[in-house]
Structure 1
Amino acid sequence: MKTIAKFFFALLLVTIISIPSFAQSTVSLGVKGGANIATFRGEDVKDYDNRTAFNFGLLLNYSVAEKVGLSLEADYASMGAKYDGSILGIETGEYTTKLDYLRTSLLFNYYMGTSEMDVRPELFVGPYVGFLMGADNKYEDNDYNDVKDAYNATDFGAVFGAGLHLRVGEKMWLVPDVRYNLGLVDIFDNDNFEGRNGVLSVNLGLTFPLN
């Protein structure tokens, strides 16, 4: 996992250093937020249900060419899952697991149409790395209990999705999107239990020009 994280940050560093070499680049800064529909993925956690939560953060866009761009994103994302416990078919109540991550993503964007259009669809894909900020579990309406030691400190995966750029001013864009964060590594610190994150998000962002 440490090797993956080092590779990811090396990729971020190379991207940031390379940006000034693109004379035609348009750079914009933005804010974003949205709703997460999160769950766990894997055979050991197949009976878990979705947990609805949130994300919010910042984004930096580089429009390198007419149809190509890069985005650096950093957000705080609340994730996790729910589980309806049962013994011999008798319901014992609902357990909720809340996982909070600080995530960083590098997205490769493909813009459709031209920059003169007021509405531009886009597709994007890229890697993300998440750092666990907190993990809590509760039964029914009881208080949350800290279970951070039961989870790995980092998460890694892929992001893919689609969105729109809606012009609201000179180089200002309203950016709604739908995306899926596909976790690729085990999040549990348990040799006998395995699972990965899966998060469907509906987001809304607003970007402002920096040049």
Structure 2
Amino acid sequence: MIRTYLLAAALLVFAGISFGQEVNVGVKGGVSIPNLSGSDDNPLTKNYKSRTAITFGGFVELGITEKLSVQPELNYSQQGGIRKGVQPITQPMPGLPPLPPGQYFYGDFKNTAKLNYLEVPVLLKYKFRSKGKVRPFLNGGVYYGYLLNATTVTKGSSTIYIDENKTPLLLPPLGTPVPPVSFDAKTDIINDVNRNNFGLTGGGGLLIPSGKNNNFIIDVRVSRGLRHIQKNTALNGESRTGNFVVSFGYAFGVKK
């Protein structure tokens, strides 16, 4: 799938160069605020909040008309989310009996899901005319994402609970709570997550001239994954990626 998508993007680039349209090549990078959205029906997918991450990459803008262009990109994008507080313990706990699938012990800790993708967006871009030198633009399109790596980073310590209402697990014979357990760990979850992702993306920004045919770029964009990231949705629920990105870049006019 990724080969087909990259081939299509490459054909767009060659088509733009061959037909003599305006061509701009650029780089960009910025701050991403990703999150994981999931159903509240599954304790593994609910209550995730946004985290701060980075994104960077390159692009080629292929002019169709003076205002309209197609822009394929190749970006490194950090996705994921953060969950704090009482949540399921998904890793085996030494000294505790295994539970049936779908049942969990609980702890109070911080859990950061980190999913890093190589993404290939293809955008349709519209540039407005402006009385000044700065030109606003809008863009929108689709993207394909290939998962490079996936981890969860957990931190904190807590006693063990038998439910999310913080009912403590009591030890016989005196019925005392389990002493606090450290949850500091980094776990590879690549085998639990789908490698391929796709979704919608769009936003707008400003083109600020910098010399002949070159521009500084401010780009504000949102994206939404359309495919759930989990392989086993019956057990692990369904979550989708999404983010808000502010990036800054520079484009060189290579053909006009």
TM over 0.5: yes
The equivalent residue for 2:246 is: 202
Contact 2:194/2:229 (<8 A) preserved: yes
The equivalent residue for 2:76 is: 76
Contact 1:84/1:91 (<8 A) preserved: no
The equivalent residue for 2:122 is: 106
Which secondary structure state, in structure 2, belongs to the residue aligned with residue 204 of structure 1? strand
Residue 72 of structure 1 deviates from its aligned partner by 1.2
CA distance in 2, matches of 1:122, 1:160: 11
CA distances 1:66-114 after superposition (whole Å, capped 9, x unpaired): 1101111101111111111316xx9701101111000111110011006
Deviates more, 1:49-58 or 1:38-47: 38-47
> Of residues 129, 142, 152 in structure 2, which corresponds to 1:137?
152
Contact 1:32/1:56 (<8 A) preserved: yes
The equivalent residue for 2:225 is: 183
Which residue type is aligned with residue 209 of structure 2?
R
Contact 2:16/2:23 (<8 A) preserved: no
Q: Indicate the structure with greater strand content.
A: 1
* Aligned length in residues: 205
CA distance in 1, matches of 2:113, 2:73: 25
Contact 2:13/2:60 (<8 A) preserved: no
What is the alpha-carbon root mean square deviation over aligned residues? 2.2
CA distance in 2, matches of 1:54, 1:31: 14
CA distances 1:23-73 after superposition (whole Å, capped 9, x unpaired): 3x1111111001110111231434101111000111111122111011111
Q: Would you say 1:151 and 2:193 are equivalent positions? A: yes
CA distance in 1, matches of 2:147, 2:119: 9
CA distance in 1, matches of 2:132, 2:27: 22
Larger radius of gyration: 2
Tell me, which stretches of 5 or more residues in structure 1 are unaligned?
none
> Of residues 203, 209, 212 in structure 2, which corresponds to 1:170?
212
Which residue type is aligned with residue 39 of structure 1?
N
Structure-2 change in CA distance of 1:181 and 1:189 (3 Å):
same
Provide TM-score, normalisation by structure 2.
0.73
CA distance in 2, matches of 1:20, 1:199: 32
CA distance in 2, matches of 1:120, 1:91: 52
CA distance in 2, matches of 1:14, 1:117: 34
Percent identity of equivalent pairs: 29
The equivalent residue for 1:128 is: 143
Which secondary structure state, in structure 2, belongs to the residue aligned with residue 210 of structure 1? strand
> Of residues 37, 41, 44 in structure 2, which corresponds to 1:41?
37
Residue 11 of structure 1 deviates from its aligned partner by 4.2
The equivalent residue for 1:95 is: 111
